[in-house]
């Protein structure tokens, strides 16, 4: 390690005094002006991680659905998955180290993780459209180069595209070509092949209205347009030319506020969707003829995909094990529909994409979505190989046709991470193949009314949970109180969990009516306030 270069570059990216940040599920996120030293040091860490695993590592500069003034950075592991938990610790240590301690911390990481500094390092870098992202990605490059690493700067990409590229690179092209062209070609070809298998008569036309949150998704959809035939009509709104990123638009805005984004004119019963700022989440919605807004969130997306896959898996008769993975935030009626009507096993895990992804890997086919619209489908290696074999060798027409559909679906889905572009194409293909309108999709089940609240507390760590965050272990008496409150309402449940990023406790409640869901959420928030050290005035109804 060149101590002089490290000292020199570290001085160019100084750490503000007293600032402490933690690497969470979304990496680091903060106000952009506080992040220069962090992204420089994540360039260092990416080079170390690359040397440790002898593979290419990704670094994405984005703060996803946060306001434009924020930014963030996250690392991508060799198969396009999230950074290994043990390295999240190293990321936090490195980001918070005093300048004069930096070399010592790097040496400690090298010892703990058996990193040979003489090995080569390769890092892929991408960024979103925030005004601060270009300068911050240059700081990542500085970090990579200080440790003698090679880098490829992809510039503006969606987060899922960088995950895809890293996976392609490390599978020696088995997953696809590690270029944007490769990504567009693979997805558009699989989409068109799938659509071709639809038996709908007459002229085929597919209109898609997409709110791109004024983010990078708009640029990438524009680049992808020429890869589709003219029957596929992509209409892009909130393309970033006029308004600020994520301002009054995007998947997070639509999901939280339960209303359409600004900048998009909706006709009655017209299918629309929204991406978030870095295009790794998607939600659908429409307005009915009476003008009422209907949201179709991640739970209903998972349900649609599960119906489609279950039918195809039944046709190929291979006894594949399929399951859906959800978090405690999944609407109770979605869980009921999947288990009771579809007869698909459902597993509940802690909040956070890494927990869902990890659980989904246990099945031949694992479908996972968070209610916020982040999700994908994972196929085990053996399942994928068997399906591709059936396409080549199966004599029975119906079985072969079903296997071909499954193969195209595998190629259309970005298995590395939730991907708004890929998920949208999967959904559009399924709706076309099953000849379903957005209203018919929405009518699969009716969401139970629910309410999300948060309560400020002195220290979020007083709340400890179990059973995939559905029950509180501490403080004493809180869970008993919640159980008693839940008994007062029909079809009700409620849970509390500490926020991962701030001193607040998040509360979720659902019940048979909106009035009851609101009342239950309020009563639970009062219990949290009194038993878990609430700050300020007690919550008001």
Residues designated as active site: 64
**Alpha helices of 54-157 — where are they, by DSSP H?**
85-96, 102-112, 133-146
**Which tokens is 301 given?**
């997306």
The verdict on whether residue 501 carries a ligand-binding annotation is yes
The verdict on whether residue 341 carries a ligand-binding annotation is no
The verdict on whether residue 371 carries a ligand-binding annotation is yes
* Residue in 498, 503, 502, 492 with CA at minimum distance from that of residue 466: 498
The verdict on whether residue 10 carries a ligand-binding annotation is no
* Residue in 228, 166, 76, 187 with CA at minimum distance from that of residue 414: 187
Contact 126, 56 (CB under 8 A): no
The verdict on whether residue 506 carries a ligand-binding annotation is yes
The verdict on whether residue 130 carries a ligand-binding annotation is no
**Which tokens is 28 given?**
């680091």
* Residue in 414, 515, 466, 358 with CA at minimum distance from that of residue 190: 414
Query: Distance between CA atoms of 303 and 369, rounded to whole angstroms?
Result: 9
Neighbours of 205 (CB within 10 A): 10
Distances (CA, A) of 370 to 155, 381, 471, 512: 28, 24, 19, 22
Coil, strand or helix: which one is 428?
A: helix
Neighbours of 235 (CB within 10 A): 11
**Alpha helices of 63-202 — where are they, by DSSP H?**
85-96, 102-112, 133-146, 159-170, 180-196
The verdict on whether residue 50 carries a ligand-binding annotation is no
The verdict on whether residue 538 carries a ligand-binding annotation is no
Sign of the C-alpha dihedral computed for residues 58, 61, 64 and 66 taken in this order: positive
The verdict on whether residue 419 carries a ligand-binding annotation is no
CA angle 288, 289, 295 (to 5 degrees): 10
Coil, strand or helix: which one is 235?
A: strand
The verdict on whether residue 370 carries a ligand-binding annotation is yes
What Rg, from alpha-carbon coordinates, does the chain have?
Answer: 24
CA atoms within 13 A on the CB side of 162: 32
The verdict on whether residue 113 carries a ligand-binding annotation is no
Give the H or E element holding residue 536: none
Contact 329, 451 (CB under 8 A): no
**Which tokens is 392 given?**
């080549």
Cis preceding-peptide flag for 475 (omega within 30 of 0): yes
Query: Distance between CA atoms of 378 and 302, rounded to whole angstroms?
Result: 12
* Residue in 192, 188, 190, 195 with CA at minimum distance from that of residue 433: 195
**Which tokens is 264 given?**
């998009």
Annotated binding site for Mg(2+): 64, 276, 278, 280
């Amino acid at each position: 390690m060149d101590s002089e270069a490290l000292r020199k570059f570290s001085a160019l990216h100084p750490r503000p005094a007293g600032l402490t940040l933690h690497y969470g599920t979304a990496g680091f996120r903060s106000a952009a002006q506080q992040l220069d030293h962090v992204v420089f040091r994540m360039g260092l860490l990416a080079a170390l991680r690359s040397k440790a695993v002898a593979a290419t590592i990704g670094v994405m500069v984005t703060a996803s659905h946060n306001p434009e003034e924020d930014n963030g950075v996250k690392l991508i592991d060799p198969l396009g998955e999230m950074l290994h938990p043990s390295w999240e610790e190293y990321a936090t240590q490195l980001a918070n180290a005093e300048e004069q301690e930096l070399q010592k911390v790097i040496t400690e990481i090298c010892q703990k993780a058996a990193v040979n500094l003489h090995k080569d390092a390769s890092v892929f870098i991408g960024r979103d459209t925030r005004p601060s992202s270009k300068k911050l990605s240059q700081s990542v490059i500085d970090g990579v180069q200080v440790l003698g690493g090679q880098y490829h700067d992809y510039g503006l990409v969606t987060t899922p595209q960088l995950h895809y590229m890293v996976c392609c690179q490390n599978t020696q092209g088995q997953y696809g070509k590690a270029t944007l062209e490769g990504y567009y070609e693979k997805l558009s070809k699989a989409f068109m092949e799938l659509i071709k298998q639809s038996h709908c008569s007459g002229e085929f036309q597919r209109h898609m209205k997409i709110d791109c949150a004024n983010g990078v998704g708009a640029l990438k959809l524009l680049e992808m347009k020429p890869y589709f035939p003219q029957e596929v009509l992509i209409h892009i709104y909130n393309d970033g030319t006029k308004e600020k990123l994520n301002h009054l638009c995007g998947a997070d805005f639509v999901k939280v506020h339960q209303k359409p984004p600004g900048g998009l004119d909706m006709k009655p019963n017209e299918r629309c969707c929204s991406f978030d700022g870095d295009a790794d989440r998607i939600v659908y919605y429409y307005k009915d003829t009476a003008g009422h807004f209907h949201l179709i969130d991640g739970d209903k997306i998972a349900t649609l995909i599960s119906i489609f896959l279950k039918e195809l898996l039944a046709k190929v008769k291979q006894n594949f094990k399929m399951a859906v993975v959800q978090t405690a935030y999944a609407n109770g009626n979605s869980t009921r529909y999947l288990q009771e009507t579809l007869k698909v096993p459902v597993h509940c895990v802690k909040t956070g994409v890494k927990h869902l992804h990890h659980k989904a890997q246990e099945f031949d086919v694992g479908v996972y979505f968070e209610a916020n619209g982040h999700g994908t489908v994972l196929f085990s290696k053996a399942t994928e190989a068997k399906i591709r074999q059936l396409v080549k060798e199966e004599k029975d027409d119906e079985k072969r046709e079903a296997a071909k559909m499954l193969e195209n679906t595998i190629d259309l889905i970005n298995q590395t991470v939730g991907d708004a572009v890929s998920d949208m194409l999967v959904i559009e293909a399924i709706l076309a193949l099953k000849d379903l309108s957005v209203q018919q999709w929405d009518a699969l089940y009716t969401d139970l009314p629910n309410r999300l609240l948060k309560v400020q507390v002195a220290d979020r760590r007083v709340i400890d949970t179990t059973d995939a965050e559905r029950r509180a272990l501490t403080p004493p008496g809180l869970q008993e109180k919640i159980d008693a409150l839940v008994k007062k309402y029909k079809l009700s449940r409620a849970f509390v969990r500490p926020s991962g990023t701030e001193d607040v406790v998040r509360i979720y409640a659902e019940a048979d009516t909106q009035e009851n869901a609101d009342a239950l959420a309020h009563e639970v928030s009062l219990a949290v306030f009194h038993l878990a050290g609430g700050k300020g005035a007690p919550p008001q109804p």
